[in-house]
Amino acid sequence: MSVRKNQAHLTANEKREFVNALLELKRSGRYDAFVSTHNGFIMNDTDHGDRVAHRSPSFLPWHRKFLLEFERELQRVNSSVTIPYWDWTADRSPDSSLWADDFLGPTGRSTDGQVMTGPFAYQTGNWPISIGMDRRPYLRRSLGSRGVQLPTRAEVNSVLAMATYDMPPWNSGSDGFRNHLEGWRGVDLHNRVHVWVGGHMATGASPNDPVFWLHHCFIDKLWDEWQRAHPDSGYLPATGTANVVGLHDPMRPWNDTTPADMLDHTPHYTYDTA
């Protein structure tokens, strides 16, 4: 059984194996297929039209499935690798071991935002950026410099306390747990972390930065925490709703997976802490 661990507790060897699996997926072209899929959904999910991956109830099951598919690719390279999670309420500093050269590498330099050291620096030749909004070929970050702070545990708890999964109009204007977690409304958890990292993470092609997976793994874990806190609350909408993925509707691009299929992650992986 796969166990997803807090990135802060990984051994040097676990970090190395995770990084090496990422580099192999990048080399084979399979990594960029995930970047491209994500960017396509970002551009097409709209508040008043079809919406699947973002600004909609299926934000959480869609990203759970997306991470699962990505983790399977990692495990084809090395069966012992799982996606770690980044608890940004605890590891809040650009000086965190997350951003060391033996793991994800540091923030970008001030002149052009380019990440200069670590496994994903452009000079290594192992991490060229090809799916993006512009032609700059190097990974960019500006950790903590956009005038926002990472969310606190108290802010997370205030969102976990919301008992209703999602509400009409089922978009970025909704009240309820999903939209507050996603961040279009209220204290803003998920969106704000993308902004805090900056560079590629602030764009639709955010999976260009490997921290995307660690961020979304923690979001996925928070969904699990919410389910435990509210055992009587379920995914909504339960039935067909225009432009929105209901509990038993298939999600693009897979078309064989519904939100109902994604409610329980334990057949696929567990988290290191309950």
Partner 1 sequence: MSGITRRQALYGGTAALIGAALTAPAAGAASTRSGPTPFSEVYNGRQIQGRSTPGANHHHHGGPDYTVFIDGKELHIMQNADGSWVSVINHYELHSSPRALARAAVNDLQGAELSPLP
Q: Which chain residues interact with partner 1 by CB under 8 A? A: 36, 39-40, 42-50, 55, 108-113, 132-136, 142, 145-148, 169, 171-173, 183-184, 190-192, 194-195, 198, 202-206
73 or 182: CB nearest partner 1:
182
Cis bond before residue 253 (omega within 30° of 0): yes
Q: Is 15 or 237 the residue whose CB approaches partner 1 more closely?
A: 237
Minimum CB–partner distance for residue 99 and partner 1 (Å): 15
CB of 94 to partner 1, least distance (A): 11
Residue 24 Cβ, how far from partner 1 at the closest point, in Å?
26
Beta carbon nearer to partner 1, 21 or 53: 53
CA 73 – CA 13 distance, rounded (Å): 19
Among 121, 125, 116, 35, which residue's Cα sits nearest to residue 73?
35
Of the candidates 273, 261, 206, the one whose C-alpha atom is nearest the C-alpha of residue 62 is: 261
CB of 47 to partner 1, least distance (A): 4
Looking at the Cβ atoms of 148 and 187, the one nearer to partner 1 is 148
Q: How far is the CB of 228 from partner 1 (least distance, A)?
A: 27
Instruction: Indicate the residue among 44 and 270 with the shorter CB distance to partner 1.
Output: 44
Find the shortest distance in angstroms from Cβ 17 to partner 1: 30
Query: Phi/psi of residue 115, each to 5°?
Result: -75, 120
Cβ–Cβ < 8 Å for 229, 221? no
Longest dimension (CA), the chain: 52
Nearer to partner 1, 185 or 268 (CB): 185
The β-bridge partners of 241 are 244
Nearer residue to partner 1 within complex by CB, 218 or 271: 218
Strand 2-4, strand 269-271: pairing: parallel
| Residue 143: CB minimum distance to partner 1, A | 9
> In the complex with partner 1, which residue's Cβ is closer, 49 or 240?
49
Quote the least distance from Cβ 119 to partner 1, whole Å.
Answer: 22
Q: How far apart are CA 226 and CA 238, in angstroms?
A: 18
Nearest to 170 by CA among 183, 180, 179: 179
Instruction: Give, for 193, the enclosing helix (H) or strand (E).
Output: helix 190-197
CA–CA separation, 176 and 186 (whole Å)? 10
Tell me how far apart the alpha carbons of residues 45 and 42 are, in angstroms, rounded to a whole number: 6
Sign of CA dihedral 193, 195, 201, 202: positive
